[in-house]
Amino acid sequence: MLLSRPRLPLAGQRRRLRAWRRTRPFWGGLLVVLGGVELLLVPLSPLTVLVSLGLGGIAAIGIGAALVVAGLFLWFLPQARAYVSVHALLLSVLSFLATNLGGFLVGMALGIAGSALAFGWTPLPVAATGEEGPYEGRPRGSGPRALAVLPVLPVLLAAVLATGAPPARAAGAPHGPPTAPRTPPTVTTSLFAPQGFAFAGVTELPTADGPLRVLVLRMRAASLTDYRLRTRDGGEEYGLAAASLELRGDVTLYLTKFSGCVEGLLCVTFSPDGLPAPPVIPPFVFMTRVSAEQALVTSDLIVTEGLRLEAS
């Protein structure tokens, strides 16, 4: 006689939880959260003789809370896992020096293990497109915009940057990003600091040679230090340099390639077909040694210092 296997309760809820868990670095985030909770509990425990309640206890509470938040970011914003996991790793290692030996090594070990799992986690590609994950957005570039930054011609670029005023759009011109140049200019900067990062995705820009697949980064503002641009127009190579460049307002970057070192430590390269940029970036993130192939940039306002145009 065959006995039927008893069914566990809440089958539908468990199925939905399983599907949600498989689309994000769940176990890495869980270990990071547990590491943060352990760091929080140690200075609050009754072991007042063994545990420092001074600066070490305050640092443990701060780092523990930051790790808990990082673990929640890994769960609910898996697109930002590369950035969040690196910061969680740095905080976990710092806890050994700044707190009570990293929660007697337990919290530090959990944070390091969870950060490694989250950084190495990769979602399955979409079968139809081969692109990463179920959470990639595709902006359509709709809505009225004022083109203010980095047009195709370097001469027009210098004029716009010098005045800080956006060029007028022709009456009846279609909305959305304008036509990009055939060959994207190369931009380098020693420091790139975005503010109010809002969206990242992949789209196509029209060019004279057909559509160009680009990575889209949107933010409220961005500052660039030691700005350099090299481009070609009519067979001649032009160069544009500035000590600093500030993009303000509704800023959108259309890039075919973007590389740099996050916090000056982790060097990564983003591209439309490679590593995607996360849709949300914490306000304290910056990148050094940045190099980008820039198809187009739009912004509402530009403030620059030490601008000069060079032709070779």
Read off the pLDDT of residues 189-210 as tens digits, 9 standing for 90 and up.
999 988 877 666 788 888 877 8
pLDDT confidence band for 36 (50 / 70 / 90): very high
Q: Is pLDDT at 84 greater than 70 in this prediction?
A: yes
Query: Cα separation of 157 and 141, whole Å?
Result: 22
CB of 60 closer than 8 Å to CB of 40 = yes
Stretch 168-174: mean pLDDT, rounded?
41
- For residue 291, the one-letter residue type is S
pLDDT tens readout for residues 95-134: 888 777 778 889 999 999 999 999 888 876 655 444 455 4
Query: Cα separation of 122 and 312, whole Å?
Result: 44
Domain boundaries of the chain, sorted by first residue: 23-120, 154-166+180-311
What percent of the chain clears pLDDT 70, i.e. is strictly above it? Answer: 68
Query: Cα separation of 212 and 148, whole Å?
Result: 21
Provide the whole-model pTM: 0.49
Q: Between 39 and 274, name the one with better pLDDT.
A: 39
Q: What are the φ and ψ backbone dihedral angles of 129, each rounded to 5 degrees?
A: -110, -20
pLDDT mean across residues, the chain: 74
Stretch 31-60: mean pLDDT, rounded?
72
Q: Is pLDDT at 24 greater than 70 in this prediction?
A: yes
Q: Is pLDDT at 49 greater than 70 in this prediction?
A: no
Stretch 161-173: mean pLDDT, rounded?
39
The pLDDT of residue 33 is 94
Q: Between 299 and 7, name the one with better pLDDT.
A: 299
pLDDT confidence band for 5 (50 / 70 / 90): low
pLDDT tens readout for residues 206-242: 887 788 888 888 888 888 999 998 886 556 677 888 8
- Name, of 53-62, 160-169, 181-190, 259-268, the range with top average pLDDT: 181-190
Q: Between 181 and 307, name the one with better pLDDT.
A: 307
Query: Cα separation of 248 and 34, whole Å?
Result: 39
pLDDT tens readout for residues 244-300: 999 988 888 888 888 888 777 778 888 887 755 555 566 667 888 999 998 888 888
Q: Which residues touch 274 (CB under 8 Å, ≥6 apart)?
A: none
Q: Which residues touch 281 (CB under 8 Å, ≥6 apart)?
A: 80, 83, 194, 197
CA 186 to mean position of chain CA atoms? 20
